[in-house]
């Protein structure tokens, strides 16, 4: 498959170089919000949406900054755009679906400090993706984040009933599961090659 085709970029961000399990982006919500499947799914959707919005904004912004030789402002303007995108999403969700707004709670504003989103904008700039490629990249990354979150939440719901030695309880156990998931995802390495 052509490595520059949108399909491959989507698959690459979704499975082969999964944002959470292979690139360690967005670990805080990954460990924090993965207690229940339902919350994990909602969180994944919200993050995917913010990723799409900020990917589009970052694409436009980069053209503007390059045109006026202001690349050193890239980081500052990206983070400002992401923060406003999150604010916008928050207002929209509050206006159109109060139920979803309540379900997401504090995690909605916290998306601003999710490094997966800034990482997405930075990687897309560094790899010089076109507009369609950026969209595929954002969708793939969001889907990959949601998948990792759902898998983790499913495993942790089951593990609630398991008898774990006291030293390994809590964060250490979550990290070991994440490590095993990450091992499993390495199996996707040859996909589409």
- Binding to other proteins by residue 91, rule CB under 8 A? no
Six token digits for residue 85: 């995108």
Angle at 126 between CA 2 and CA 178, to 5 degrees: 80
Which range of residues in 55-63, 92-100, 118-126, 129-137 is near other proteins by CB under 8 A?
118-126
- Binding to other proteins by residue 31, rule CB under 8 A? yes
- Binding to other proteins by residue 155, rule CB under 8 A? no
Among 23, 100, 103, 155, binds other proteins (CB under 8 A): 23
Nearest to 29 by CA among 50, 8, 1: 50
Classify residue 163 by its DSSP letter: -
Among 64, 92, 183, 191, binds other proteins (CB under 8 A): 183
CA 57/CA 78 separation, integer angstroms: 8
Among 3, 38, 67, 72, binds other proteins (CB under 8 A): 72
- Binding to other proteins by residue 80, rule CB under 8 A? yes
Those residues whose C-beta lies under 8 Å from the C-beta of residue 178, and which sit 6 or more positions away, are 20, 21, 30, 31, 152
- Binding to other proteins by residue 188, rule CB under 8 A? no
Among 122, 154, 188, 192, binds other proteins (CB under 8 A): 122
Ordered DSSP codes for 149-161: HHHHHHHHHHHTT
Nearest to 12 by CA among 20, 54, 3, 21: 3
Which range of residues in 46-54, 137-145, 153-161, 179-187 is near other proteins by CB under 8 A?
179-187
Among 1, 28, 91, 191, binds other proteins (CB under 8 A): 28
CB 188 → other proteins: shortest distance, Å? 12
């Amino acid at each position: 498959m052509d490595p520059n085709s949108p399909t491959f970029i989507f698959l690459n961000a979704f499975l082969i170089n999964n944002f959470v399990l292979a690139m360690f982006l967005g670990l805080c919500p990954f460990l924090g919000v993965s207690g229940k499947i339902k919350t994990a799914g909602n969180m994944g959707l919200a993050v995917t949406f913010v990723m799409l919005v900020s990917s589009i904004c970052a694409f436009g912004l980069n053209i503007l900054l390059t045109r006026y030789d202001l690349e050193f402002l890239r980081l500052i303007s990206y983070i400002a755009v992401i923060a406003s995108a999150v604010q916008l999403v928050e207002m929209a969700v509050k206006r159109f679906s109060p139920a979803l707004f309540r379900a997401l709670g504090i995690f909605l504003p916290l998306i601003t400090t999710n490094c997966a989103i800034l990482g997405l904008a930075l990687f897309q700039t560094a790899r010089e993706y076109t507009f369609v490629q950026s969209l595929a990249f954002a969708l793939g990354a969001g889907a990959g984040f949601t998948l990792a979150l759902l898998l983790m939440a499913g495993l942790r719901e089951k593990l609630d009933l398991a008898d774990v030695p006291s030293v390994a309880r809590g964060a250490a156990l979550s990290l070991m599961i994440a490590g095993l998931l990450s091992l499993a995802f390495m199996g996707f390495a040859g996909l589409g090659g």
